[in-house]
Structure 1
Amino acid sequence: MKHLHLIALALLSLTLTCFSCQEDSNLPEKKPGTETGENANRNPTTATTVYGRLEFPHLNTNGNNIVLVHSVDNFGVNYAVEWDCDKKAQRWTCYQMNTFTSHSNWNRKNWDNTTWHGDPFQEDPDLPVQYRTTLADYKFSGYDRGHICPSADRLYSKDVNEQTYYLSNMQPQVNSFNTGVWLTMENQLRNKWNTNTYRDVLYVCKGGTIDKSSQIATHTSSGLIVPKYFFAAILAVKNGQYHALGLWFEQKLKGDKDVNKDDKLRPYAVSIDKLEQLTGIDFFCNLPDDTEKTVEAKLDLNWWGL
């Protein structure tokens, strides 16, 4: 069962939070704030402790933004989105991957036997209507509704999977990108790095560029921003050890059907420090400052098998 609560943030006056109960029930790891060390840039947690989770980047308090935290009973926090209401676009989606969240009790084919008839894409019911993107915005646009938190990463239950089809978790992607290097990244993240060899927990933040005009490829006929670049920030925690990886992809709109296809991720790998410079987003801000500084400066391609 899903529940919705709206909380106005006193410290982030232009930000709202939409979230459900059982905020941290899928957290097997030590909760943020218990590590030793100073943290000058962590998110405030007065409104909700969810903002202190390690997958969260520093929240953007400039402009008219909403933070959507989607949760499900018996699962906990599913994923969170920072939504720019003026741009009608998401800045990022963040979520965790671990043994619990990876349980598979549902699959995409199950949607064929529901009222959705195999196509559960839908408006985000937690967003105020005036800020939503709609199915009509994508229809005949020439772009895929590209998942940021993939459906295949959230197969724990019907309700958990359904939330990944909210349009707030989408960005316009050309098909060759959605089924190309972006899919390569999703598969490697799910099948290689989301294993006990690499993690107790993976903390993931992904999205497309919406803030700089030089990083916007174009707009759809309905006005949706089409990001020129997409990114992934990944933090692996294993036996108390931290490893981080940034990935930076250009979405090429012109070229043949293979223009965005690549089965290798090494050419796109950057440090988190570099990814922060490219995106303007402060990733993994809830780590203690000394840990954050060390982890984000390092790019260990061998550790990641790249």
Structure 2
Amino acid sequence: MSLFKNFHLPAWLFAGVLFLFAGCGGSDDDSLIVVRLDAETVNCNTTSNRIIAVGDAMTFVATILSQDVGDAWCSFSSFDTLIEPQFSKSGLVGVPMNLYLLRNETDQVREALIRVTFANGFSADLTLRQGAFSPTADFDRQWGEQPFFREGDTYIYKTYYTTLIRGGYVRNYSVCYDTQKRVSHWVAYPLTRNYVEPAVTRTNAWSYDPNTQLPEIPVQYQFNVANTYGTGDARGHQLPSADRYSNKETNAMTFYSTNIMPQNSDFNEGVWVDLENKIRDVRARNSRDTIFVVTGTYFAGNRYITARDGTRIGYPSNCWKVLLRGSGGKAVWDCSADELYGIGFWFANDASNTASLRSYATSIADIERKTGFSFFRNLPAGTVDAVKAQNRPSDWSL
């Protein structure tokens, strides 16, 4: 809540931003100050935020008046030092003020109330909310393709991060990994120029997930992909190796066990690779837009294959992809329904796939019905149903 002298603004007009009028009422030199938090609501893993004040130069004092749920978790000094938490700090309009947070490991949302008092006597209250602990908190809103999370006793959700030659430290891909089947139900990832350029050679770095990033997926629940399956089936990538050619480290992650599925060799080397190549072609022709992809497996029965080391691995009856892209370089959640393009592809995991790619095209909604997963949870409610209903192969040059 902000405090005004005989002046009230409707809350809907400036939601999330507090405006303060400085100076005496009725004077000719009244000025406007805007004060806000970088983010009013953050997830449980967020450890920093900022107070932003914009307007005429003047000093202010920010004070953390209260913070609920347990011990102090919000401070103006870093918790990584031996300095005691700092609950009040002086600042200057135009210079961002850092806030430091502890990760929230509780099952409750917690709030901190911060009062910002300016040199002219006006003040504003800011409320910072940090979400309760969630194992999927790092699945960010910007990740346009992210499916809704479906609970399963054998599921582990994990995101792998990497540093690109162009683009810095980013996510590589996310998985919904099944420790019983030793196969991911889905792998979700973005495709942009930065992930594929400058091109390096394929690493063939077949390996377990080394668990250098959390959460851990114990090796005993993975398949030793350095060996073939022993059945003549291919080690099929869900995120293609050729979609991650920025550098060797990024490419090597595509050879983790968690990204590999058993695929019929004819299927893997035929229509499946044709689809992967087509998606890259579409990406190159729409270079301003990110293509969001979810690749996955479906298990109609309870078939397993046995690897050479005796490990049992679930054998998918079907493999699929769902695709989403925006247009005009806009973020997908800023696009209207007619500016978004969505499609799905559904294949039997056998040698029967000899038709054109167009024959396997379907709607995202159809694949949701088949798999039980719901996709694109970050799209606005007003556009998502229309996009999921699309099945227009021509939008994808098919």
Which residue of the other structure, out of 196, 218, 238, is the alignment partner of 2:327? 238
Q: Which residue of 2 aligns with 1:129?
A: 219
Q: 1:79 aligned to 2:173?
A: yes
C-alpha displacement at 1:224, in angstroms? 1.1
Structure 1 segments unaligned to the other structure (5+ residues): 12-43, 112-118, 254-258
* CA displacement at 1:245 relative to structure 2: 0.5
Counterpart Cα distance in 2 of 1:181 and 1:8: 46
Q: 1:148 to 1:10 in 2, by over 3 A?
A: farther
Which has more strand, going by share of residues?
Answer: 2
Pick the aligned partner of 2:346 from 230, 236, 248.
248
Find out whether 1:194 has 2:288 as its counterpart. no
Give 2:184's aligned residue.
90
Bigger RCO of structures 1 and 2 (CA < 8 A, at least 6 apart): 1
> What RMSD in Å do the two structures reach over aligned CA positions?
2.5
Q: Does 1:67 align with 2:165?
A: no
Secondary structure in structure 2 of the residue aligned to 1:281 = coil
Aligned partner of residue 340 in structure 2, secondary structure: strand
Distance in 2, Cα, partners of 1:98 & 1:10 = 37
For 2:41, the equivalent position in structure 1 comes to: none
Q: Secondary structure at the match of 1:260?
A: coil
**1:260 aligns to what?**
353
Partner of 1:167: 257
Q: How does 1:1-306 map to 2 (within 5 A)?
A: 47-50=137-140, 53-73=143-163, 74-108=168-202, 111=203, 119-126=204-211, 127-135=217-225, 138-191=228-281, 193-197=282-286, 200-210=289-299, 212-213=300-301, 218-222=303-307, 223-239=312-328, 240=335, 241-252=339-350, 259-262=352-355, 264-306=356-398
Residue 76 of structure 1 deviates from its aligned partner by 0.8
Deviation at 1:137, TM superposition (A): 6.8
Q: In 2, are the aligned partners of 1:8 and 1:47 still within 8 Å (CA)?
A: no
The SS at the match of 2:369 is: helix
Q: CA deviation at 1:124?
A: 1.1
Distance in 1 between the 2:140 and 2:276 partners?
Answer: 24
Partners of 2:263 and 2:350 within 8 A in 1: no
Larger Cα Rg: Structure 1 or Structure 2?
A: 2
Q: Which amino acid aligns with 1:180?
A: G
CA contact (8 A) 2:234 2:263 kept: yes
After superposition, the C-alpha distances for 1:169-190 in whole angstroms (9 at most, x for unaligned) are 0100121011011111111011
2 CA distance for matches of 1:299 and 1:237?
15
Contact 2:347 2:353 in 1 (8 A): no
Distance 2:135 2:386 in 1: 24
Counterpart CA distance in 2 for 1:288 and 1:48 is 19
State the AA in 1 paired with 2:250: V
Q: Which has the higher helix share?
A: 1
Instruction: Provide the C-alpha distance between the structure 2 equivalents of 1:62 and 1:290, rounded to a whole number of angstroms.
Output: 29
What one-letter code is carried by the residue in structure 2 that aligns with 1:69? T
CA distance in 1, matches of 2:292, 2:265: 27
- Matched residues in 1 for 2:365 and 2:105: separation? 29
Structure 2 CA distance for partners of 1:174 and 1:8, relative to 1, 3 Å? farther
Query: In structure 2, what is the equivalent of residue 20 of structure 1?
Result: none
Kept after mapping to 1: 8 A contact 2:289/2:327: yes
Amino acid at match of 2:274: T
Structure 1, 44-53 or 291-300: larger mean CA deviation: 44-53
Please give the TM-score of this superposition, normalised by the length of structure 1.
0.74
Code of the residue aligned with 1:220 in structure 2: it is I
- In structure 2, C-alpha distance between the alignment counterparts of 1:289 and 1:66, rounded to whole Å: 27
Relative distance call for 1:46 and 1:220 in structure 2 (3 A) is closer
Q: Which one-letter code corresponds to 1:92 in the other structure?
A: W
How far apart are 1:304 and its partner, in Å? Answer: 2.2
- Tell me how far apart the structure 2 counterparts of residues 123 and 136 of structure 1 sit (CA, whole Å): 8
CA contact (8 A) 2:239 2:259 kept: yes
Structure 2 Cα separation of the partners of residues 228 and 123 of structure 1: 24
Alpha-carbon distance change, 151 to 102 in structure 1, aligned in 2, over 3 angstroms: same
CA contact (8 A) 2:223 2:257 kept: yes
Tell me how far apart the structure 1 counterparts of residues 193 and 161 of structure 2 sit (CA, whole Å).
17
Change (3 A) 1:49 1:277: closer
- The alpha-carbon deviation at position 226 of structure 1 amounts to 1.3
Quick one: distance in 2 between partners of 1:226 and 1:295? 30
Counterpart-to-counterpart distance in 2, 1:10 and 1:197? 43
CA contact (8 A) 1:150 1:186 kept: yes
Give SS of 1:220's match. Answer: strand
Gaps of 5+ in 2: 1-44, 46-102, 108-133, 212-216, 329-334
String of CA shifts for 1:107-142, please: whole Å, max 9, x gaps: 12xx4xxxxxxx411111122122211137744232
Q: Verify the 8 A CA contact 2:230 2:306 in the aligned structure 1.
A: no
- Whether the aligned pair in 2 keeps the contact of 1:9 and 1:47 (CA below 8 Å) is no
